[in-house]
Structure 1
Amino acid sequence: MSELTLAELDTRYQDYFSVEHRININIQPITEALPDIAQLENAIPEAFLLSSQSSELNMSALRSLNRLGELAEELANYLQQQAKKMDLLLQYVLRQQDIAEQRFYSLHYGGSGCCYLAQSPLPVLQAVEIRLFLPNNEGAVFCFGQVLSCQQVADNWQIKVVFTRIREQDRELIVRASLHQQSKLLKQHAEQRQLSSS
């Protein structure tokens, strides 16, 4: 599968909504062609695979508890505490994967891609390696993408990147994180409106 055209990238960027939120990302331009899905699987660092598996296991365990009835709540609380311990350890391991020289902060992100500010431009259609570190211990994602646009904003460059090589479970993780953040923002706005009207 080769790189996408600008029109294809633009269409893909519109596939999912994005949320305005600052998360830590690493962007590294690559000179070789975008890898295929099999090559992506081989390129994903172990810590990112563990993060994805941990998130899937937590969701699966909690879904299973819904069938237990009354005892489910206590058991769910216990499992969530254990999951939090594992998340803390995993977050420590993932922080070791954050490369300072490649670090940027998103303006917004979603299931299709992300947008961030950089001090230097990247060419449109440039292939990049992407590491997203999701908020609130929700995990991390390693994928590849292409630059959709690069526009100068004051002394910086606003760069939009589309995720073009990403595992579906990782895209779902990003979508869940962005929906969770959107929900928090809507709740904050509703609370602020209530305070200002009283």
Structure 2
Amino acid sequence: MSDLTLKQLADTYQDYFSVEHGININAKAINGPLPSTAALDAAIPPPFLLASNVNSLSGSALRSLNRLGEMAEELANYLQQQARKIDLLLHYVLQQQDNANERFITQSFGASGCSYLANTPLAPLTVLELKLFLDNNDGAVFCYAQVLSCEQQAEKWQIKVVFTRIRDEDRELIVRASLHQQSKLLKQKAEQRQQHSSS
């Protein structure tokens, strides 16, 4: 996926749903063409790789417990507590990768891309190095993206970007995080409707 046109970027942006929610990201414009997949693999900081590996290992370990019968629940609880400790430690390590000078908060995000407000505009097709820090210790993602659009909003600029170089497992991580956030929002709306109808 290199030398994409704006039309191709727009089509890619529609591939997955996005949810309106703020997560911390770091966005840094880089000069030159979109890096290759091999360049992405070489550029991913070790803490991001570690977080990704831990998430997949925890999931597969808990799934295999289903075959153990009645002892599985106690063992699952123990493993979840251990995983929680590791998550907290990883969360701290990942926060050290968060550069305050490059930090923005998303207006929306999904597996195709995200949008955020910035003080300065970026030209469409500009290549960005992105770090996404997902909520609830869901991990973090390092990828490359390109600017789809840049529109003025009041005194800021809304930057919409498409993830153009991203590992499949990281895209899946964002899918899970966005689905989790969407289910939380739907639950909140249902509770609000219930409160209105009972009052």
1:3 and 2:7 are equivalent in the alignment = no
1:29 paired residue number:
29
SS at structure 1 position matched to 2:67: coil
Task: Quote how far apart the aligned CAs of 1:108 are.
Answer: 0.4
The aligned residue for residue 92 of structure 1 is 92
Note if 1:66 corresponds to 2:66: yes
State the distance in 1 between where 2:30 and 2:3 align: 12
Over aligned residues, Cα RMSD in angstroms? 0.8
Kindly report which structure 2 residues correspond to 1:176-191, keeping only aligned pairs within 5 A, or say none.
Answer: 176-191=176-191
Q: With structure 1 as the length reference, what TM-score do the two structures score?
A: 0.98
The DSSP-based 3-state class of the residue aligned with 2:151 is strand
CA distance in 2, matches of 1:74, 1:145: 43
| 1:74-153 superposed matches below 5 A | 74-153=74-153
Partner of 1:171: 171
How far has the Cα of 1:69 moved from its partner?
2.0
1:197 is matched with which residue?
197
Q: Which moves more between the two structures, 29-38 or 10-19? A: 29-38
Corresponding residue of 2:16: 16
Distance 1:119 1:12 in 2: 26
1:45 is matched with 45
Q: Distance in 1 between matches of 2:50 and 2:111?
A: 20
* Unaligned runs of at least 5 residues, structure 1: none
Q: Deviations over 1:124-161 (max 9, x none)?
A: 00000000000000000000010000000000000100
SS state at 1:90 partner? helix
Q: CA deviation at 1:3?
A: 2.6
Structure 2: how far apart are the matches of 1:78 and 1:118? 44
Larger CA deviation: 57-66 vs 22-31: 57-66
When the two structures are superposed, what TM-score results if normalisation uses the length of structure 2? 0.98
In 2: Cα distance, 1:2 partner to 1:193 partner: 46
Q: Which range moves more in the overlay, 62-71 or 132-141? A: 62-71
Aligned sequence identity (%)? 68
Counting matched residue pairs gives 198
Q: CA deviation at 1:36?
A: 1.1
